[in-house]
Structure 1
Amino acid sequence: MISEFERATASTLVDGVATAEIADSWGTGGPAPNGGYLLALVTRALGRVSAHPHPMTVTAHYLRPAAPGPATITTEVIRSGRTLTSAQASLFQDGKERIRVLAGFGDLESLPDDVRTSAEPPVLPQVEDCFEAPDSFKRLVTLLGHADLRVDPATAGWAAGAPSGRGEMRSWFRLADGQEPDPCTLLFAVDALPPVAFEMGVQGWVPTLELTVHVRALPAPGWLRVVASTRNLAGGHLEEDVEIWDSKDRLVAQSRQLARVVGP
């Protein structure tokens, strides 16, 4: 049975050109759909022309805001090698390019098991002890109808009008319809949390300008843990670094984005 997320990121591909419908219920409270959702939509279409099954590195530049409604995605395979397919795609609406994506696809199941890392999985309170957005907030941030977020109370001061001033947010994440995570889910999850700017006392829309995601492994079933942080908000822009850990304590995705802070 097809899930809500698969349906919302589906497209029809003919001769390297995909047609899609950008859903109207994956917003973040600003005028455009969520950037991670759009990235998953474009990458899923691009994956259909790849000789390899999984996105491993994906970079998107958000050239103009996209909007709910019909979209066209052009795809091009740049090079297909033994272990990696490099490809690019552009999403168009009303004849204007909205997003351009460059991606490398590989086979995550064929990667070696050797892990040598200094990274440590985050420690969060139990899911039931974390902050869940009220219905009034969910009506504004419509993607929360599809993503179940449970934010660590220590990083949810912004929700009570008392932000900590630290640029960090930690949350449990899963798709609300119960679909288990896959690589495209990770592309959405890296941008699904409220902006870390909120916990720094900055309110308003924080649109993504550029987003790069590295998918490191196929995620295990169950809840994901997402940690977002920034060290520098300056000149109306900030970087946001994200790590995603799966239920087996594996670092399955990392990302960095540059975002612009737009006042309320």
Structure 2
Amino acid sequence: MAPFFAASEIHPGPVPSGTKDGVYVYHGNADPDWAVHAVPQGGYVLALIIRACIEHQVRSHTPDPIHVTAHYLRKASLGPLEVHIRAVRTGRTLSNLTADLIQTGVVVMTTHLVFGILNASTLPPPSFPLTLEPPSPHARVTPFSTHPSESANCPLAFPCPGVTATVDGTLGTLPNPSGGVDVGQWFTFSHPADMLTLPSLAFFSDLFPNLLPPVVAGGKLPASSCPTVVLTLEFKAPIPRGARTVGAYAVSRFLNDPQGRHDVYGELWTAPEGEDNGDNWRQKQRCLAVSHQTALVIPMALKRDGKSRL
């Protein structure tokens, strides 16, 4: 299969006639190897948008994505696509963009992105520190307790040979004592050419298993999909050079009728490098991104009958 980096390639192209002034257009192709039941995975599609916006911002003074809000309006399709980017505001430290993913002339997904500078080391030192890290008692330490090398293999939420997964031995107990579901998994790119990138974090942020609906249904939930309605992603820290593994921690607390609307809060963490499994490996990890997602539960029978309506 195509590595993620190749499957998410996107290039600037001509602006179609009739497009509003100030819009820049990028062209790509949704690859079938990164699809769920012949539908491009939602995080993968968002990765295409983020990559186009990074390409657009690469020579600006705000080159890094800081935050993105994505609304999934329609089901994406495999094949050609366009990303239409427009600058809303360009400031000294933050820039705001909108980006729409368009297929066959129809807006499939609309996003608002904030760009800035992610690596604080490239900026002048601040007058006082505003970064919270261990050993501060207020700093959050990675929720993972089991080293990736000691975690058990587990299946992915959908078949994807481009990624392998293991589950943290201390997370994923159902039900959680405080309510809802917690789960922690380590994800690793299978292809040696694939490394973690900021766009790929969007893919991993939408790879969390939707465990709460089956739990509430007492294991009797019919075969269903959980389409994303809204996803927000805040990038917190630069990705370590050469990293291929990410820790994905998810919490789901609430489920509502109709349509089984449920929340997924996620954190994406660095993984220990190499054979680093000393006593303090947990204190060395940093949160790369935080996500919030609203998803639905759609029985596959309704989708096949064409009765599903978002």
Q: TM-score, normalised by structure 1?
A: 0.85
Of residues 188, 208, 211, the one that matches 2:203 is 188
Q: Which residue of 2 aligns with 1:57?
A: 67
Which whole-Å CA distance do the structure 2 matches of 1:146 and 1:101 have between them? 26
1:149 alignment partner, one of 165, 171, 178: 165
Q: Alpha-carbon deviation of 1:11?
A: 1.2
For each residue in 1:135-182, what CA deviation from the matched residue of structure 2 results, as whole angstroms up to 9, or x when unmatched? xx79xx34x21222212356568xxxxx65742221012222243322
SS in 2 for 1:78: strand
- Bigger mean CA offset, 62-71 vs 196-205: 196-205
1:44 aligns with 2:51: yes
TM superposition outliers: structure 1 runs of 4+ over 6 Å: none
Match of 1:226 among 238, 243, 248: 248
The aligned residue for residue 151 of structure 2 is 130
- Selected match of 1:217 from 234, 237, 241: 237
Count of residues in Structure 1 that have an aligned counterpart in Structure 2: 251
CA distance in 1, matches of 2:94, 2:188: 29
Q: Return the alpha-carbon distance in structure 2 between the equivalents of residues 154 and 118 of structure 1.
A: 21
The residue identity in structure 2 corresponding to 1:246 is T
Alignment pair present for 1:255 and 2:291: yes
Q: Is 1:19 matched up with 2:27?
A: yes
The answer (yes or no) to whether the contact 1:149–1:193 under 8 Å persists in 2 is: no
- 3-state SS of the aligned residue for 2:229? strand
Who is 1:79 aligned against? Answer: 89
Partner of 1:245: 269
**Equivalents in 2 of 1:230, 1:105: separation in Å?**
28
* Residue 98 to residue 77, structure 1, CA distance change in 2 (3 Å): same
Q: Structure 2 unaligned runs (5+)?
A: 16-23, 133-137, 272-283, 301-310
Q: Secondary structure at the match of 2:119?
A: helix
Matching of residue 169 in structure 1 with residue 176 in structure 2: no
Larger radius of gyration: 2
Contact 2:264 2:293 in 1 (8 A): yes
Deviation at 1:198, TM superposition (A): 6.0
1:204: Cα distance to partner?
Answer: 1.8
1:92 counterpart = 2:128: no
Q: Does the residue aligned with 1:177 lie in a helix, a strand or coil?
A: coil
Letter matched to residue 219 of structure 1 = I
**What residue number does 1:160 align with?**
none
Quickly say closer, same or farther: Cα 1:109–1:126, change in 2 above 3 A.
closer
For residues 175 and 169 of structure 2, the distance between their equivalents in structure 1, rounded to whole angstroms, comes to: 11
Using the aligned pairs only, state the percent identity.
Answer: 27
Task: Give the secondary structure class of the aligned counterpart of 1:145.
Answer: coil
Cα separation, partners in 2 of 1:130 and 1:164, compared to 1, 3 Å: farther
Q: Distance in 2 between matches of 1:199 and 1:155?
A: 17
RMSD: 2.5
SS in structure 2 at match of 1:121: coil
SS in 1 for 2:26: strand
User: Match of 1:242, as an amino acid?
Assistant: G
How far apart, CA to CA, are the structure 2 residues paired with 1:81 and 1:123? Answer: 38
Structure 1 gap segments, 5+ residues each: 158-162
Task: Give CA-to-partner distance per residue, 1:30-70, whole Å, 9 cap, x none.
Answer: 45221111111111112222222221101110000001111
The TM-score normalised by the length of structure 2 is: 0.73
Amino acid at match of 2:141: E
Q: Is the 8 A contact 1:73 1:90 kept in 2?
A: yes
* SS of equivalent residue, structure 1 residue 108: coil
